[in-house]
Structure 1
Amino acid sequence: MVAALFLTCLCVGERIYSPSEAIRVVLGQKVPGASFTVGRLRLPRALAGLLAGAAFGVVGACFQVLLRNTLASPDIIGITAGANTAAVAGIILVGASGLALTGMAVAGGLLTALAIAALAWQGRGATSRLILIGIAAGAMFDAATMWVMIGGNQYDIQAASRWLTGSLNGIRLSDLTPLAAVLLSGLPGIAALARPLDTMRLGEDAAAGLGVRVRATRQAIMLVGVVILATATATTGPIAFVSLLCGPIAAHLVGHGRSCLLPAALVGSAMVLGSDLIAAHLLVHSYPVGVVTGIVGGSYLIVLIIRLTRRETA
């Protein structure tokens, strides 16, 4: 499905090209009329959706498994908001872009994760406390982001607003280098940690009894996850709710009891690519991809909360 969506993104637009033409362009061959449109405009956009979706999906699943809570995705517990605030401050205050913007987003995400973890992991009930602290921190960072934007000029405010929506528009191949490098180095680490992380579903005490180094695993997942998340956020902006949705969908597809981390990356890629096709071509006007994922994710969150409420009252 991911390959089909990726190819569709290359073929569909104001002018439609055949799959063979798109594949020839990707392979570096010259195709009259298609080389520029597919190679320079559509390919970077499709690659951004593929990579960013994988990043958001796998990190969201990691945090949900680590904290044993479906709501514990980075965009719910404040980590994405911390990266957003740092990135917007970079855009507004110093005109940051490229690697500088990525560095500021990573720093903001890491500092936020450290602060939330330090406040939450004290005694029992740490997971529930972390989610509540994260939600409060996210609200504070969202307010700080708006405050920073008020002080910017009109051009910077527009740039930051577009970025905050989550969009694949205008991305160049060179913009994807940091994200591709982080994924290539981070995904093998996550794959290596998948088994001990799944064992931690049983609880930290049980996992420790089975030989899992709980603290080291938790720290490694948080470090790698935040770096991947913040790099993806700096590249495309915060594409709403992808981190929240992919873990449960992947778990449903592969079956409970099996690792859903890497399948969540594929679900994330499919979700972002599919949402971008809808946002760009199937609506009356062209919208950023984050608008579509926000509508879908918000609806899912409402349904999830209703189900949890019914389960608690049953």
Structure 2
Amino acid sequence: MSATVKSGEAVGPGAGKTRATGARRVRAIRTKGGLSVRLDVRATAVGLLLLAVALAAAVALIGSGDYPMTPAEVLAALTGGGDAGQQYIVHDLRLPRVLVGLLVGVAFGVSGAVFQTVSRNPLGSPDVLGFAQGSSVGALAAIVYFQADAFGVAAGAVAGGVGTGLAIFLLAWKRGIHGYRFVLVGIGASAMLYAMVLFLMTKANIVEATRATTWMTGSLNGRDWDQVQPLAAVCAVLVPLLLFFGRPLRMLEMGDDAASALGVRVDRVRVVVLLAAVVLVAAATAAAGPISFVALTAPQLARRLTLPRRLRGGGGSAPMPGPNLVLSGLMGAVLLVAADWASQRLFGADQLPVGVLTGVLGGGYLLWLLATERKAGRV
């Protein structure tokens, strides 16, 4: 969420000063110890707002279900209050589901921002590039050929996603990775992997096909602490790693030549962030299934919220701020938890998997994005 102050602007010691960089405002603060911190005012405000909305949606989701609870009762149970029944419902049944939703949303949002930045294409999303289909092939293979349990299905999904990522990376490599080649190879791989999914479905019996269809829809139903712990461990390692590469990623958006001139080792940065993003997507897909369009929409919505009002229409050659990994992760968490809450409120508890709702809304957003890009002359 940081931004760059114009060169030549001095910041006084011990004080915070607000500067305008074009249409964006940053606050630069220098402590007495010489530590300098620069904050984008708008991005910080949007980040705090998204965090508050995500937490509020999480509380509302915990309180939804066959046994509804008020926000006060949910907060009391989370802090050790309430009766034994409320404690069991919150801690054992609903809290793991909400935590999986938050973590999956963060993972999809951050990884989507990485893919779109590296490909320099708003359509460069795991949904479009075949990573979700690769995880689906791995999970279906575990179900059809090995009758695997939940852990085996998750392991198959991770193996399929990582294997797909490595294959796309190698096929797209030619003296480095270039955005359009990466996207085109990913789209081709997606089509081939979808054909493999259909083949595996024809090989499955009725029980296996039903189980596979349920998994492929993408759902938070029945999630427990067994899914929370490994996903939290993956996010705890890979999300900070990707945030560490936030500055080089912003430079990559200016092009390889400009990034190299600024001292960025382009190929090394691209390899590291892509591998980390692939593993992050695979882990999230293993935990909740291939929930569609969150990775596509979250980074775009986060970027638009941080744009000045006059640049939000999407037309022309409006400059986009950096990858905004933190905001993209928070937006992903908001979208997924809010969609799960909406599906329960509109259709009843566990009647509509969240992947169906995100697919409908995300498909509409994709059509709007394509129309906007076409109007701007970029597709």
TM-score by length of 1: 0.94
Structure-2 residue corresponding to 1:14: 66
Q: Matched residues in 2 for 1:192 and 1:76: separation?
A: 26
User: C-alpha displacement at 1:106, in angstroms?
Assistant: 2.3
Alpha-carbon contact 2:118-2:179 (below 8 Å) kept: no
Q: Matched residues in 2 for 1:310 and 1:102: separation?
A: 41
Structure-1 residue corresponding to 2:302: 250
User: C-alpha displacement at 1:156, in angstroms?
Assistant: 1.7
Structure-2 residue corresponding to 1:195: 247
Structure-1 residue corresponding to 2:169: 117
Task: State, as a whole percentage, how many aligned pairs show the same letter.
Answer: 37
Counterpart residue type for residue 301 of structure 2: I
Alpha-carbon contact 1:98-1:175 (below 8 Å) kept: no
258-267 or 16-25, larger mean C-alpha shift: 16-25
Q: Matched residues in 2 for 1:32 and 1:177: separation?
A: 24
User: C-alpha displacement at 1:284, in angstroms?
Assistant: 6.8
Higher relative contact order (CA 8 A, sep 6+): 1
- Secondary structure at 1:75's aligned position in 2? helix
Is 1:289 matched with 2:354? yes
Q: Deviations over 1:80-100 (max 9, x none)?
A: 211111111112221334443
Q: Deviations over 1:148-185 (max 9, x none)?
A: 12212222211111110000001111222111110011
Structure-2 residue corresponding to 1:234: 286
Q: Matched residues in 1 for 2:365 and 2:296: separation?
A: 9
- Secondary structure at 1:157's aligned position in 2? helix
Structure-1 residue corresponding to 2:325: 261
Q: Deviations over 1:105-130 (max 9, x none)?
A: 22222221222222223269932222
- Among 343, 348, 354, the residue aligned to 1:279: 343
Q: Deviations over 1:281-301 (max 9, x none)?
A: 213782000111001110011
User: C-alpha displacement at 1:67, in angstroms?
Assistant: 1.1
Q: Which is helix-richer, 1 or 2? A: 1
Alpha-carbon contact 1:77-1:131 (below 8 Å) kept: yes
Label 1:313 to 1:205 Cα distance change in 2 as closer, same or farther (>3 A). closer
Alpha-carbon contact 2:177-2:267 (below 8 Å) kept: no
**Alignment of structure 1 residues 128-277 onto 2, 5 Å:** 128-255=180-307, 256-277=320-341
Q: Matched residues in 1 for 2:151 and 2:96: separation?
A: 17
Q: Matched residues in 1 for 2:163 and 2:177: separation?
A: 22
Q: Matched residues in 1 for 2:104 and 2:184: separation?
A: 27
Q: Which 5+ residue runs of structure 1 have no aligned equivalent?
A: none
Runs of 4+ in 1 over 6 A off after TM superposition: none
Counterpart residue type for residue 130 of structure 2: G
- Secondary structure at 2:174's aligned position in 1? coil
TM-score by length of 2: 0.78
Label 1:207 to 1:6 Cα distance change in 2 as closer, same or farther (>3 A). same
Q: Matched residues in 1 for 2:154 and 2:187: separation?
A: 23
**Alignment of structure 1 residues 27-46 onto 2, 5 Å:** 27-29=79-81, 31-46=83-98
- Secondary structure at 1:198's aligned position in 2? helix
- Secondary structure at 1:72's aligned position in 2? coil
Structure-2 residue corresponding to 1:77: 129
Q: Matched residues in 2 for 1:62 and 1:55: separation?
A: 11
Q: Deviations over 1:124-144 (max 9, x none)?
A: 993222212211211111110
Q: Which 5+ residue runs of structure 2 have no aligned equivalent?
A: 1-52, 308-319
Label 1:98 to 1:124 Cα distance change in 2 as closer, same or farther (>3 A). closer
Alpha-carbon contact 1:106-1:226 (below 8 Å) kept: no
- Secondary structure at 1:287's aligned position in 2? coil
62-71 or 154-163, larger mean C-alpha shift: 154-163
User: C-alpha displacement at 1:277, in angstroms?
Assistant: 1.1
112-121 or 258-267, larger mean C-alpha shift: 112-121
Counterpart residue type for residue 96 of structure 1: A
Alpha-carbon contact 2:301-2:331 (below 8 Å) kept: yes
Alpha-carbon contact 2:133-2:190 (below 8 Å) kept: yes
Q: Deviations over 1:265-289 (max 9, x none)?
A: 1100110011111112213782000
Is 1:23 matched with 2:75? yes
